A and B are shown apart, each in its own frame.
Chain A
Amino acid sequence: MSTQEKEWGLITEFKSAKDIYHAAEKLRDSGFKKFECYTPFPIHGMDDAMGIKATKLPWLILACGLTGLATATGLQVITNADLYPMIIGGKPNGVGSLVAFLPVMFELSVLFSAFGAVFGMIGINGLPKLYNPVFKHEAFKKVTDDGFFISVSVDDPKYNTQKTTEFLEKIGGKDVTVIND
């Protein structure tokens, strides 16, 4: 186990939501790219403080919703007009009775969009991921309680174990620790 371990990055803890917010701004302004903030709840404005772009998730959800709409339309028109025509009270059938098909069209659009939203979010986030190097840091258990952590990855072009540690300590991080993976 130990022979294969490589340095993964640094992790440090901050005292409050306010502190981690300002620390993220300073990391962003110093040109760090591959750092991450871990918080017990989403912090308002953190995306800007970290300088990360908006997610593309809504487009995926739209595509799923349209797929649902097309599925419902196809399912109803094909089955009721072609495979098993049902003419009731002489009323129009198939495409002619599109109004009667609206409820199912709406429902399947919502259903498929919801699948897109949930599984899209989980998928883009790379979950489920039950093993994560940050879990090796004992204090990290606090992150879902009242802990605020920042990690900086070795992949960051500005990363240097010594200098980055000093920088993190300067901006208020405590217990800066090297994480190996």
Chain B
Amino acid sequence: MIDMTLDPNADNPAQRTPLVQGGMGFKDVSHAVCDISERKTPKIWFLCLAAALSTLGLLKTSILYLIWEGTGIWGLNNPTYWGWAIVNFVFWVGIGHAGTLISAILFLLRQDWRTGVNRFAEAMTLMAVACAGVFPGIHIGRVWAAYWLFPIPNQMTLWPNFHSPLLWDVFAVSTYATVSLLFWYVGLIPDLATMRDRAKTKYRKIAYGVLSLGWTGANKHWQRYEKAYAILAALATPLVLSVHTIVSFDFTVSNLPGWHTTIFPPYFVAGAVFSGFAMVITLMTVVRHIYKLENLITIRHLENMCKIILLTGTLVGYAYAMEFFIAWYSGVEFESYAFINRAFGQYGWAYFIMIGCNVISPQFFWFKWCRTNVVFMFIISIFVNIGMWFERFVITMTLNNDFLPSSWDYYSPTIWDVSTFVGSFGLFFTLLLLFLRFLPIVAISEVKNCIPEADPHHGDHH
């Protein structure tokens, strides 16, 4: 007899804590997930949506005023031409990385625990990328000329400069958004079919019927589906690493001390995963509590994510230290100055917020109590979210002290910088609430596959 100890780390996967708890069968999984969107819309949902839509209105107002008046409404100055817009862009793109990491990389690594959280994290990715996409679109100044970003033949026979990292970014982010959307939709098809077959009202039948494309669960379909899914995962894995690498090229390819370093690509990717998982924890701990999904999104899932936060947070801390070491070791005085100024200059306060939130706060996750206490991990995840925004702020503010001391200046945001950033959370939460209400928030068919009875050899003697 196998001793059924509940150890999430047991070498033999059969002895690990079950991923689906509470003795749930196939039917219970379908019901637990679908019922969220089938039951009467709770009042709290409308209240949240109203708050989210008002915040989205703030974003709209800020953008309209920006288009009317120009980027002068922001705190930009010479030499800080890049302010909160780029900070917010990198912040949101970074958050978007957790979804694809969970769905693609953990899929290839055969980490079954991803099934409880991948759908939600992928949806979060799409919403975060949508928020990120707003910023490069509006910070170019003349918004009506945004199509110049794309290689479209125009009346001046002008073509974009393909040697520029900013153009690589256009391709990287738009490819990432498209592939994430496709990946997410492919995962949704069988679950939308579950919603179709449970639908009671005419509109639900039509909507889920059309969206699920007439899925029957035929094995020949599953065969191609699984192949397509595996290949998408294999494609998305280098893609997710490339996106933040290319975002970091926006900085590294310039010749500015403090930016022109080779550590940026891996450091940005680690930071992106770090911030993404923190945002997943922030949202997941709340959603699983409200929707009573504790048996599907278990402490084991959350603990694993805390471990990833610990790993990537430590990687980020290593990168901060290594930047300083190389600045000193290179013997380049401009490089050394940039870093000493970063930590002890005008923005030293921001630097130490960053260190405190990103390097010190995840270290609590060495302790099992911290990794398994939902309230505690929620608090840490908020710190990480704040810290990762400040990381991008600190990096961008390197611009302040450029090569000409006469042009040095102190950058302060205006009310419009703040309203645009706060407004982007309105977009994020509006999309999130719609997702929670209308789509299956846990990958039903994938979770069913983690139930022992899904194995055709279950109960056989080996």
Contacts and interface: CB of A to CB of B under 8 A. Distances in A.
Q: Which of A45, A79, A131, A135 has the most CB of B within 10 A?
A: A79
B217 A107 contact: no
Contacts of A16: 453
Contacts of A128: 210, 213-214
A86 interface: yes
Interface string A84-108: 1010100100000100110110111
Contacts of B254: none
A55 B231 CA distance: 13
B456 A21 contact: yes
A110 B178 CA distance: 10
Max chain B CB contacts within 10 Å: which of A52, A88, A107?
A107
For this complex, into which size category does the number of interface residues on chain A fall? 35 or more
Interface residues of B, number: 68
A121 B222 contact: no
A116 B419 CA distance: 41
Contacts, number: 209
Interface in B177-208: 178-179, 182-183, 185-186, 190, 193-194, 196-198
Interface string B153-165: 0000111111101
A117 B218 contact: no
A123 B237 CA distance: 24
A75 B228 contact: no
Contact of B175 (A57, A111, A124): A111
A131 B214 contact: yes
A71 to B, nearest CB: 11
A130 B214 contact: yes
A132 interface: yes
Nearest to B245: A103
A145 to B, nearest CB: 5
B162 A18 contact: no
A17 B218 contact: no
B110 interface: no
B161 A88 contact: yes
Contacts of A97: 163
A142 B194 CA distance: 9
Interface of B is mostly: helix
B225 interface: yes
B209 interface: yes
Contact of A17 (B160, B214, B239, B453): B453
Contact of B457 (A18, A107, A146): A18
B163 A143 contact: no
B214 A127 contact: yes
Nearest to B153: A83
Given A88-B163, A144-B194, A114 B217 contact: no
Q: Which residue, B178, B197, B217, B235, has most C-beta atoms of chain A within 10 A?
A: B217
A41 B151 CA distance: 42
A36 B225 contact: no
A141 interface: yes
B413 interface: no
B127 to A, nearest CB: 20
Contact of A36 (B165, B198, B218): B218
A41 B453 contact: no
B227 interface: yes
Contacts of B196: 144
B427 to A, nearest CB: 24
Interface stretch (B23-31, B62-70, B283-291): B23-31
A31 interface: no
Contacts of B25: 146
Contact of A114 (B179, B210, B213, B225): B179
Given A108-B171, A125-B221, A145 B214 contact: no
Contacts of B239: 107, 110
Nearest to A128: B213
B157 A84 contact: yes
Contacts of B3: none
A79 B163 CA distance: 12
Most chain A CB within 10 A, of B185, B216, B449, B454, is at B216
B159 A141 contact: no
A120 B456 CA distance: 29
A118 to B, nearest CB: 5
Given A17-B458, A41-B190, A127-B221, 20 more contacts: A18-B453, A39-B222, A40-B194, A40-B445, A41-B222, A41-B448, A42-B219, A42-B223, A75-B151, A83-B157, A88-B161, A121-B228, A122-B213, A128-B213, A129-B214, A142-B197, A144-B196, A144-B197, A146-B26, A146-B30
Task: Pick the 7 closest A-B CB pairs, nearest first.
Answer: A21-B456, A121-B228, A146-B26, A128-B213, A79-B159, A103-B168, A144-B194
Interface of B: 25-27, 30, 151, 157-163, 165, 167-168, 171-172, 175, 178-179, 182-183, 185-186, 190, 193-194, 196-198, 209-210, 213-228, 231-232, 235-236, 238-239, 242, 246, 249, 445-446, 448-449, 453-459
